[in-house]
Chain A
Amino acid sequence: MEGVFNQPTFAPCPACGSGLQVEVFPALFRKTSAGQGGETIMMEGESSCFYHPQKKAARPCDGCGRFLCALCDCELDGRHLCPTCLETGKTKGKIESLDNERTLYDSIALALAILPMLIFYFTLVTAPMALFVAIRYWKAPRSILHRTRIRAVAAIVISLLQIGGWATLFIVLATRR
């Protein structure tokens, strides 16, 4: 079993025999340190935690300035935040490292603009939808992988062309009569 750890090549797994290579890092053997519970106020006049008046304040929140004990201090990306600021930051999308999901409205708009072209008549309905989505969510957060706005721009251009095409068709049909 020891032959599979931190070796450059595969070694047979002792259980199933398939090739196995395991990279082990020091974190595996790191002892888990106990979380801090916050010190109780011993002397009158000491600053107390906003959320736990019996506990001594350790530092202020970098978000709202409230005093926090060691228990309430949530460290994230080098900042010390209270649970409320952390929750607010996650809910409002202000803390990017807590942002775990994004809706790609630019991709949705582009799909609405392009895919219905397979059955062209659908574009009569989907072209305005694509235009609406692209404009309505123009400022919505895009992928955190730094995508440009090219998809939204393409969706707007394509949907405008489709709308223009339909308008032209209706005008031609109307004037023919």
Chain B
Amino acid sequence: MSDFSYQRLTRARARGLLAIAVQSRFSLWLGPDHLLHVESSGYTESYKRFYFRDVQTLTIRETTRRNVWNAILILPVVFCLVVLVISLFPLKNIAAVITWSILATLLVVPFVINNLRGPTCACELRTAVQIEELPSLSRVRKTRRVLAKIRPLIAAAQGGELSAAAVSAQLRGWVATSAGAPSGVLAADDPNVPPPLDS
């Protein structure tokens, strides 16, 4: 066993919109000098380590998953409410009213939770050799909290943080290099230029 304990950053979350037939769940843990990405099937665990010195970028992209779930979850609630209103006027069957009220209340809970948790996102971590999606970072608020925690650790491992202006200057340098490169030498052939991100 290792001498250190991993610190949990996120709870286990399945990948994908429909996590009903869950095969694997993903979680993120913080080690002394790396992030540990755990894929768990319940009976086996697979680990991927991303050392702080190797992390190049962390990309957070807003997704529409929350809105999709809202649309899915609101339909049964609306249905229950419509039936409830029909049952109320005229009021003939108290049991039906109570039943539909309870159902509507129960079905509105996931809808409320989905909205309370905030907007959804997709997060990707990039190193020199891979682009890895982190499915457990699925909410913007949680992702930014995790990022705030690991940013100083990554910066310490790499010798400092970059300002937005410094990043822009470096990127302009790359563009200028590829634009003014001699014929036959493309930025894609330069081993020091990271591979382009797939859309």
Counting residue pairs across A and B whose Cβ atoms lie within 8 Å, the total is: 117
**By the criterion CB–CB under 8 Å, are A20 and B60 in contact?**
yes
* Interface window among B14-22, B94-102, B104-112, B154-162: B154-162
**By the criterion CB–CB under 8 Å, are A2 and B167 in contact?**
yes
Distance A5 CA – B135 CA, assembled complex (angstroms): 22
Residues in A with CB closer than 8 Å to B86 are none
Residue of A nearest to B147 (CB): A23
Interface residues of B in 36-76 (CB under 8 A from A): 36, 38, 42-49, 53-63
Specify which of B43, B54, B159 is in contact with A108 (CB 8 Å cutoff).
B43
Specify which of B6, B59, B159, B160 is in contact with A145 (CB 8 Å cutoff).
B6
Please give the distance in Å from A42's CB to the nearest CB on chain B: 30
Residues in B with CB closer than 8 Å to A15 are 199
Specify which of A6, A7, A32, A145 is in contact with B192 (CB 8 Å cutoff).
A32
A47 at the binding interface (Cβ < 8 Å): no
Interface residues of A in 1-15 (CB under 8 A from B): 1-2, 5-7, 10, 13, 15
Residues of B within 8 A of A (CB-CB), count: 49
* Interface size, A (range): 35 or more
Please give the distance in Å from A30's CB to the nearest CB on chain B: 8
Which residue, A1, A29, A97, A99, has most C-beta atoms of chain B within 10 A? Answer: A29
Q: Interface residues, chain A, CB within 8 Å of chain B?
A: 1-2, 5-7, 10, 13, 15, 18-32, 96-97, 99-104, 107-108, 111, 143-146
A-B contacts besides A32-B192, A108-B43, 14 pairs, CB < 8 Å: A1-B171, A2-B168, A5-B164, A10-B62, A13-B61, A22-B58, A23-B59, A25-B56, A25-B57, A25-B155, A26-B159, A26-B160, A27-B128, A28-B170
